[in-house]
Structure 1
Amino acid sequence: MRGRNICPNHFTFSAVLPACGDAAVGKHMHSLICKHGFESDVFVSSALVDMYAKSGEMFCAKNVFDEMPKRNLVSWNSVIVGFLRNGCYHEAIGFFTSLIAEDVIRPDQHGLEYLAYVKNSLMDMYCKSGVFDDAEKLFTTIDERDVVTWNVMVMGFVQNGIFEDACNYFWVMRREGVPPDEASFSTVLNAAAGMAALDQGSLIHNQIIKTGFGANTCVTSSLITMYAKCGSLVDARRAFAENEAHNVISWTAMLSAFQQHGRANEVIELFNDMLQAGVEPDYITFVSVLSACGHTGRVDDGFSYFNLMSRRYNMNPGLEHYACMVDLLGRAGRLHDAKIFVEKMPIKPDVSVWGALLGACRKYGNLDLGKEVAEKLFQIEPDNPGNYVLLYNMYALRGRLEEANEVRRLMGFNRVKKEPGCSWLDVRNTTHVFKAHDRSHSMTNEIYEMLGKLEELLKQKGYVPEIQYAINDVGEYKERSLWYHSEKLALAFGILALPVGAPVRIKKNLRTCGDCHTVMKFASEIFKREIILRDINRFHRFADGVCSCGDYW
């Protein structure tokens, strides 16, 4: 158009600006607007604000807005929505308050609570604030609930960790005849993943196939994550393989699945495949890759990938990446290098970074550095019992009981209670929960009898109890106490209650101890069963006497 010497007008610029997805292109257009004298046009200026906001340039958007001689409702909406999209929530509220205070322009949909999409936004606000009673009350007042209304409620439950209610709402939505969209399926799959409910996730997968969303990349990514977090890496790989169209999210979901299941070599291989496919990695991708390097002792590769972020992809490493690097050095026994790395970080280390270093100190018994790091963590997060327990265990293993008891007294002073360990597994749609020394189950006698048989079989195979993991016990009771850990009780029940040959899937809320890890390996070989244990850190898949983590977790 300009090549034919036809001058653009305000309609032209208002139409072209929404097509400027790149800030650099938008700035060139802004220069043309000023050259032609349309910068004071309210419609053009509003489109400029919207363009800068969508490009993430809120400073420029605000400048354009401030310089507008005249503003209309579109102008105000553009800048408010821009702040919202860019996570500037205080600024968004501030501008809305200014709009109300001017009392010249009446906000659209303000005071019209009966409109469904206004109620949806209100529900979203209540859910994100954790006020579920108000969200549900509002939900019941909407007569015609569309898929967005249901999605808002389901997402609210997921964001606040109320996964069972999220699944229940999804199924009620289906019964009421509301067809789900990709957001519905992705959200409810995240709920199933949060509960590690494989049966629930499989039922949702059936609905995805029936409704034709199987090829949707967003849904595929959530499917991969759901199966991985439910302990079925086979199904996660199948979901990835069945969809040929992949983006960075689905690639990263599969990378994370391998990483969670201790398949570090597959993480590196898949990452290289991703790069060959021409897909650029994102922030989360590198977290999985660096973690995989840490779990395979690839220190040099880890630093190469870490440097690749900034050199090739112009990406600044974040705290998660620094924590991975500290973990990488710590697992390799290079505690001094890890400490120097932390001290030279360009950003302030957080609990994930110090926690990685403390875990390395525990692994290698470096009590002096461990005490120094633990004290930093006590200051940052005084309510986290895990840091106290790690330091206590380090003192106790060295026989320094007075210092260990001092840590306990500090916990009491700060009113911190150790989270009780528990393990659970699902059998015939019922969840069975076990604690250490648990005798509350209806099959207690059979469970302890099975533990006795298992102990005999293991000792015939050469099993030696690792009594250092029975820290709070003394004398001969140390070995006996090891056999009553919650995951061993869950294992015995699973062997008794599940069909012969069926996988035993156990979940635990804390890190599994080394002795239980050894027992699971022996048991998988003796009973010829796959045992999948998900602890607080990762999945362990035991088969034929070997664990997927390679005893490096």
Structure 2
Amino acid sequence: MDHLGDLPWHAGVSKKLDPTQRPLKRLNPECCMRSSPSLQTLALRSSAAKTHARLIKSGAASDTYAWNNVLAAYSRRSSLADARKLFDEIPKRDAVSWNALIAAHVSSGAYQQSWDLLGSMMAKGLSFDQYTLGSILKSVASAGQLEFGRQLHSLVVKSGLDSNVFSGSALVDVYAKCGRMGEAYSVFQLMPEPNTVSWNALIAGHARAGEADCAFQMFNWMEREGPMPDEATFAILLTFLDRAPFYQLMLQLHAKIVKYGRAIDAVVCNAAVTAYSQCGSIADSRKLFDSIDDNKDLVTWNSMLAAYARYGFTEHAVEIFVRMQEAGVAQDMYTFTSVISACFEHGLRGRAFHGLVIKRGLESTTPVSNALLAMYIRSCKDGLMEDAMKCFGLMEFRDSVSWNSILTGFSQSVLSEEALKFFGHMRSASLKIDHYAFSAALRSCSDLAVLQLGQQIHGLVFKSGFGSNDFVASSLIYMYSKCGVIDDARKSFDESCKDNSVTWNSIIFGYSQHGQGRMALDLFSEMQELEVAPDHITFVGIISACSHVGLVETGSIFLKSMEPIYGIPLRMEHYACGVDLFGRAGQLDAAKKLIESMPFEPDAMVWMTLLGACRIHGDMELASYAAQCLIALDPREHSTYVLLSNMFSGFGMWDDRATIQRVMRTRGLTKVPGWSWIEVKNRAHSFNAEDRSHPQAEEIYERLRDLMEQIEMASSTGSDIHHIECG
């Protein structure tokens, strides 16, 4: 395979990728940063200082060349202030002196000062050259100053430097980075002989715009008519290959890398390790990683570690981390961020990495602290939310990710009251509330069914301009549905964008939970007419809707058609919905057969659904079987014993009921009471069965007795219960 030009690019890469959904990858800056200067740098700095001292001592005012050499050395390896001080000491400054100082400012990111220096240089009547304009144009490109770039373009033409490859490449870079690809091509085509920098600037411009086809076509053109591609060329192209469909394309591009002798370049190898993993082939990433013997740098190790973390391969990630330590590689914040991310479901193990973070002095690094927060929050089943809060409290600088992580942690851990209090703290701290925070707060309102507070947050959403966000709209729909106001849920849905499955799923679930299954099915039909692709969550809602309204045959058809028609493999939750579908209709044999047909072992949710159906229809034999399977999976789940105990008592099987209760006592299990919430005058009141902890308990029970008496009286006289006065 000599040319990628023969490939049907459109088959593997979309012509216009959306950069807002798939931001271009950037190489980690650690590849060019060091914690201390190297011996070579110290030696060069010492040599420059000695030359500086000799020049001052000798008073060699006319040796401008020597002064410029010292200035160039200071500009590269000393502070900007030192370079400026030396510049002021040069007795006779020439254009080279100004160029060195301008280049120093550009390298330091002091773009405005570099532009001011160009103005001062021109005001003194000094002639600029290709090197002057090259540095200035580099700063203009980085700052994205299109109009200034056009002015400099005129200056380049006026000074006769438009045919110079150095100036021309810099201009191509300016226009490409400013998104003006047409003007970039115009400059490029006027260049007598474009160099690799020019070609790469155009390819990078297409990369920024997410134009994969154009970038690869440019590469084909470069192969035919341009200079040999270098490491920068391949590093840019590798950023596009970030999904499984691009795997074959990745193999072919890797072949090109080998063909042009770039397989030993660290930058290319590091990008290829990442690209292979993002194309779904961890095996190829590891094979390439292992083939890099003496050329592994910190980025290489971090790339492989991040690849394992991305796919949740905890053991492999830890192995790479340990090997880094054994090889004496200085680990940085990217290393710890990745390995901690790999331990999301292993909070106890993650504590060991937390200790290493403190030991290495990285606890003040916000990305590392955010990774620790996420790890503890994901492990909240082990009671680690308190650890997350401690970590949050010790952070020196908290960004929006930090605050949102804690808020989401409370919400996902069903600590809804704490979540809403924390949301209040976020507002008091004058933080900018984003769509993640609004979604988490609305979900907590849903869990507590606090309608009035949810409506207030809805007002904040509208005021903040997040009403059109899919996830916020979905949370609003869910909140109104859980609070029993399905009409407002539908209104929120109608006001949403409806261009993907997120909001559709919420409204389908809403109607399903309100017993309006046919409305949910109508919405699914409308969804298909609008060509909105359903996902696995959509079918959970649809099959549940069929279950609630007794449409067993329709639900069964959906269950069977998911993979062959919609390309969505059945997951555990779909089987649980199917068991509920058959179980509610009393088709317990069909429910059991569905469980037996599962390609993986059923979890507790599936068996609990079957057990609940057995209780409704009084199948004691199948219930005992389901209960045995449940107890084998989770012997400490109290609800299994409670359901079975209730069934035994319902059938008058008192000895069996006593046995169950004795087992519960032996294992230290007690029934966990359910809680109810009601919102009165913007305040949530919580109760459980026989609860008397509420300060108005006596009044409440007194009123309850009155209501019960009215109901009994209405029942005995045949009166309409709806006319009972509730006060």
TM-score (norm 2): 0.60
* Per-residue Cα deviation, 1:481-525 (whole angstroms, up to 9, x for no partner): xxxxxxxxxxxxxxxxxxxxxxxxxxxxxxxxxxxxxxxxx75x4
Determine the C-alpha separation between the residues in 2 that align with 1:72 and 1:528: 78
Q: Which residue of 2 aligns with 1:12?
A: 233
How many pairs does the alignment contain? 469
Displacement after TM superposition at 1:428 (Å): 2.0
Determine the C-alpha separation between the residues in 1 that align with 2:487 and 2:542: 20
Give the 5 Å matches for 1:120-159.
Answer: 120-129=370-379, 130-159=383-412
The percent identity for this pair of structures is: 35
Which blocks of at least 5 consecutive residues in structure 1 are unaligned? 463-521, 530-553
Q: Which residue of 1 aligns with 2:275?
A: 51
Q: Which residue of 2 aligns with 1:551?
A: none
- Cα pair distance change 1:276/1:328, threshold 3 Å: same
Give the 5 Å matches for 1:205-244.
Answer: 205-244=458-497
Q: Which residue of 2 aligns with 1:541?
A: none
Determine the C-alpha separation between the residues in 2 that align with 1:182 and 1:194: 18
Give the 5 Å matches for 1:274-313.
Answer: 274-313=527-566
Indicate the SS of the match to 1:95. Answer: helix
Displacement after TM superposition at 1:322 (Å): 1.0
- Tell me if the contact between 2:250 and 2:276 (Cα under 8 Å) persists in the aligned partners: no
Q: Which residue of 1 aligns with 2:369?
A: 119
Greater Rg over alpha carbons, structure? 2
Displacement after TM superposition at 1:308 (Å): 1.7
Indicate the SS of the match to 2:566. Answer: coil
Is the deviation greater in 95-104 or in 235-244? 95-104
* Per-residue Cα deviation, 1:367-412 (whole angstroms, up to 9, x for no partner): 2222222222222222222222222222222222222222222222
Aligned residue type for 1:243: S
Displacement after TM superposition at 1:181 (Å): 1.6
- Cα pair distance change 1:167/1:314, threshold 3 Å: same
Determine the C-alpha separation between the residues in 1 that align with 2:625 and 2:395: 56
Determine the C-alpha separation between the residues in 1 that align with 2:716 and 2:684: 31
Determine the C-alpha separation between the residues in 2 that align with 1:259 and 1:404: 35
Aligned residue type for 1:442: E
Determine the C-alpha separation between the residues in 1 that align with 2:618 and 2:573: 24
Give the 5 Å matches for 1:17-416.
Answer: 17-37=238-258, 38-69=262-293, 70-108=295-333, 111-129=361-379, 130-416=383-669
Displacement after TM superposition at 1:422 (Å): 4.6
Displacement after TM superposition at 1:430 (Å): 3.6
- Cα pair distance change 1:104/1:387, threshold 3 Å: closer
- Cα pair distance change 1:263/1:116, threshold 3 Å: same
Indicate the SS of the match to 1:19. Answer: coil
Displacement after TM superposition at 1:342 (Å): 1.9
- Tell me if the contact between 1:146 and 1:178 (Cα under 8 Å) persists in the aligned partners: no
RMSD (Å), alpha carbons: 2.6
Indicate the SS of the match to 1:20. Answer: coil
Q: Which residue of 2 aligns with 1:487?
A: none
**4+ residue runs over 6 A deviation:** none
Determine the C-alpha separation between the residues in 2 that align with 1:303 and 1:445: 49
- Tell me if the contact between 1:45 and 1:75 (Cα under 8 Å) persists in the aligned partners: yes
Determine the C-alpha separation between the residues in 2 that align with 1:232 and 1:212: 23
Aligned residue type for 1:67: S
- Tell me if the contact between 2:442 and 2:457 (Cα under 8 Å) persists in the aligned partners: yes
- Tell me if the contact between 2:243 and 2:280 (Cα under 8 Å) persists in the aligned partners: no
Which blocks of at least 5 consecutive residues in structure 2 are unaligned? 1-217, 335-359
- Tell me if the contact between 2:501 and 2:533 (Cα under 8 Å) persists in the aligned partners: yes
- Cα pair distance change 1:35/1:187, threshold 3 Å: same
Determine the C-alpha separation between the residues in 1 that align with 2:502 and 2:378: 24
Determine the C-alpha separation between the residues in 2 that align with 1:528 and 1:92: 65
Determine the C-alpha separation between the residues in 2 that align with 1:319 and 1:204: 34
TM-score (norm 1): 0.78
* 1:453 aligned to which of 710, 713, 716: 710
Displacement after TM superposition at 1:527 (Å): 5.2
Indicate the SS of the match to 1:312. Answer: helix
- Cα pair distance change 1:367/1:252, threshold 3 Å: same
Q: Which residue of 1 aligns with 2:170?
A: none
Determine the C-alpha separation between the residues in 1 that align with 2:676 and 2:464: 36
Aligned residue type for 1:455: E
- Tell me if the contact between 2:250 and 2:275 (Cα under 8 Å) persists in the aligned partners: no
Q: Which residue of 1 aligns with 2:187?
A: none
Determine the C-alpha separation between the residues in 2 that align with 1:361 and 1:149: 46
- Cα pair distance change 1:167/1:430, threshold 3 Å: closer
- Cα pair distance change 1:357/1:118, threshold 3 Å: closer
Aligned residue type for 2:597: K
* Per-residue Cα deviation, 1:34-67 (whole angstroms, up to 9, x for no partner): 2441333322222222223334433332233222
Determine the C-alpha separation between the residues in 1 that align with 2:641 and 2:283: 45
Aligned residue type for 1:211: S
Is the deviation greater in 40-49 or in 50-59? 50-59
Aligned residue type for 2:613: A
* Per-residue Cα deviation, 1:421-445 (whole angstroms, up to 9, x for no partner): 4533221234444444556613132
Determine the C-alpha separation between the residues in 1 that align with 2:392 and 2:640: 42
Displacement after TM superposition at 1:143 (Å): 4.8
Aligned residue type for 1:93: V
Aligned residue type for 1:115: T
Determine the C-alpha separation between the residues in 2 that align with 1:153 and 1:103: 35
- Tell me if the contact between 1:128 and 1:159 (Cα under 8 Å) persists in the aligned partners: no
Is the deviation greater in 97-106 or in 14-23? 97-106
* Per-residue Cα deviation, 1:443-491 (whole angstroms, up to 9, x for no partner): 13233122211222244448xxxxxxxxxxxxxxxxxxxxxxxxxxxxx
Aligned residue type for 2:678: L
Aligned residue type for 2:596: E
**Greater relative CO (CA pairs within 8 A, separation 6+):** 1
- Tell me if the contact between 1:354 and 1:373 (Cα under 8 Å) persists in the aligned partners: yes
Indicate the SS of the match to 1:426. Answer: strand
